[in-house]
Amino acid sequence: MITQLTQKKNFYPLQRLVTIVLVLILCAACSEAPLPIQQLPSFLPGIKEQADFAMSVKPSVNEGEYEIEGTTNLPDDSPIAVAAIRYLRPEQQSFVKVSPEATYSILDYQEAEVKDGKWQITLNLWKVALDGEFKEEWQLGESELGLELEPEPEVTFLATLDPTTQFSEIERQLDRQGIKLARSVIRTTPDGDSYVQASEVMTIDLPTGKTTPPVQTPDDLNGGWGPRYLLIPEPPIIYKLEKPKEHRTNEPFAPEEFL
């Protein structure tokens, strides 16, 4: 009996020591690797769901077209602006001074809306020149503007959440719906303005090949103004007008009609 009491007496300090060590390990693990908010119970007060905003790009079956799909937990009907841009480097022999920091071409731009946690859109990066050759947007006016540009091999696809609304207003709208924007989807301009954006970069070759030349429209002439510099002749008068020889009324002349 005495031996058993002695063993139990010695066991209690050891048990407390093991418990303290386990608590310290758990505390250290929690401080070094906090659980994502998505793994925390949703019934805890003050806990908001992190905004999910991701995109993927793949070539379409049609040449020059790319399908962009996105997944998100943002509310339905949230507007998404999707663009494809290619950065350009001005060549040394170009006589037009171009800033290399901001030289890029928007190849295509479309808008999509969130439906059931998904959004998708198709961008067409190829345009048809007047001679029927496939070109990118910046190639169509390169010679007219006197530019000689060297394109980067990659195309950057950008998906921006509601670019026409202030970032603070977007935060307030999402906060009312229990959604918190993660830092990984927030971008900042050089001026300090914030916005929500996802991006993906893909190596894409320049267009090749030809097709049927497009029919010219007024937008293709005079820088998009059409033939406005030409005087349009007035239509001919189909009715023969004759001046009456006699006054066709017996009403006396008004004083204003006399000299």
pLDDT per position as a tens digit, 125-141: 999 988 889 999 999 88
The C-alpha atoms of residue 87 and residue 106 are separated, in whole angstroms, by 9
Least confident of 58-62, 154-158, 255-259: 255-259
Query: Which single residue is written with the structure tokens 């961008």?
Result: 123
Q: Which residues are CB-contacts of 138 (< 8 A; sequence separation ≥ 6)?
A: 86, 88, 105, 107, 149, 151
The predicted-structure confidence for 80-121, as pLDDT tens digits, reads as follows 999 999 999 877 644 455 555 568 899 999 999 999 989 999
The C-alpha atoms of residue 135 and residue 124 are separated, in whole angstroms, by 11
The predicted-structure confidence for 210-233, as pLDDT tens digits, reads as follows 999 888 777 777 777 777 777 778
Instruction: Label residue 207 by pLDDT band (50, 70, 90).
Output: very high
pLDDT computed for residue 192 by the predictor = 82
The predicted-structure confidence for 49-81, as pLDDT tens digits, reads as follows 677 888 999 999 999 999 999 988 888 888 999
The predicted-structure confidence for 17-42, as pLDDT tens digits, reads as follows 444 433 343 343 343 333 333 332 33
Q: What percent of the chain has pLDDT over 70?
A: 76
Between CA 226 and CA 230, with CA 227 as vertex, the angle to 5 degrees is: 160
pLDDT computed for residue 42 by the predictor = 33
Reported in sequence order, the residue ranges of 73-143 that DSSP labels E, i.e. its strands, are 79-90, 104-113, 118-124, 127-128, 134-135
Radius of gyration in angstroms for the set of CA atoms belonging to the chain, rounded to a whole number: 35
Residues 191-218: what's their mean pLDDT?
88
Quick check: pTM over 0.85?
no
Q: Which of 120, 102, 103 is nearest to 111 (CA)?
A: 120
Find the helix or strand (DSSP H, E) in which 87 lies: strand 79-90
